[in-house]
């Protein structure tokens, strides 16, 4: 992945757990996942909107 062995990854996860606490870690993960999901959908939505706009301009120029 990033050249991390299992011990380094475990150490990083333990540091995160100690810094934020057991109650905050799932909340942080959920909000991070939600943000990534919204970003993906907005990027995909803009691609679809651009295609629809191109189709609309092509049909109006042809008529």
Domain boundaries of the chain, sorted by first residue: 22-62
pTM to 2 decimals? Answer: 0.54
Inter-residue contact 16 to 25 (CB < 8 Å) = yes
Q: What is the mean pLDDT of residues 16-31?
A: 93
Inter-residue contact 54 to 63 (CB < 8 Å) = no
**CA end-to-end span of the chain, whole Å?**
54
Higher-scoring residue by pLDDT: 14, 52: 14
């Amino acid at each position: 992945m990033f050249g991390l062995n299992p011990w380094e990854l475990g150490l990083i996860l333990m540091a995160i757990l100690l810094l934020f606490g057991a109650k905050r870690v799932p909340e942080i993960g959920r909000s991070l996942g939600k943000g990534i999901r919204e970003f993906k959908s907005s990027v995909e939505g803009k691609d679809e909107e651009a295609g629809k706009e191109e189709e609309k301009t092509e049909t109006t120029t042809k008529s």
